[in-house]
Structure 1
Amino acid sequence: NGAVSFGSPLQVLDKNPPRFPAFVPLYQQYDLDRGGNVFIKVVGENDAIDYALLTRSSLNIQNRFHQNDFRTRSMLIISFDKLLQAETDRVNSFQVVISQGDNATFLTYLFEEIECDTAVSGFSSGTEFFELPFQLLTNRSNIGEKG
């Protein structure tokens, strides 16, 4: 369904945003039986092979958000790859990246390919939902880059 929830699963696409903590990059009804994959990668400081990802994350956050002392200690990367919107041939690929440092955590949504015509995007604190304008997802961001 294109969301990451905490405490309760998101069952069926609903027009109402979730009332529990959730990251909602592209909430839509998908048909995984017809194709697409969801990958989860955990990166920590002990992962020598993936240490470059931590460095890249740190530099991006330092440069984009002016957090000069931020250092990414761990990351959770959830990749939604070539998901097919239910009852269509529309393909969607996107990522959720959670970068954790000593005193702060940053959430990044990366949109590679969006073909769906409607979806909900945003995040829920559990009591409030902040919705991102769907029509701006692929062309705008808060860091001056597309997607």
Structure 2
Amino acid sequence: MTFDKDKILHYCNSISKNTLMQTLNIQYTDAGPDFLTATMPVNPSVHQPMGLLHGGATVALAESVGSAASFLFVNGEHSEVRGIEISANHVKSKRNGMVTATARIIHKGSSIHLWEIRIVDENESLISICKLTTMVLPKRKTKDS
């Protein structure tokens, strides 16, 4: 299988329209055979009341990039991916700017994928570190299928 970074990024960004990823302005920006990267701007739309990046927005970014990365490892015609567990440690606050999340595979089983997602700021300072478990399921038929 040939790895086509531009095709992967185009696909990930195109399926994000009218979703939480679009609401949070998440953009997929880099990809490799074992990772996927996305960015999210930090501004009042993702703040908690104290004016800091909301942990929930951070976790949404982590799950978005990890789940998308997991989907890239399966045959989308026959399988689908579901996030089943996520944990996050927020180690530094952020008021504005940009955060970048990179999901890297830890374990790639036939039915379970385990990801580490590091979220850093523009200076490569660690903001949060997350662990995501995804499950690979047989693709279900939809009403349109």
> Structures share a fold, TM > 0.5?
no
Which structure shows the bigger proportion of residues in helix conformation? 2
TM-score calculated relative to the size of structure 1? 0.29
TM-score calculated relative to the size of structure 2: 0.30
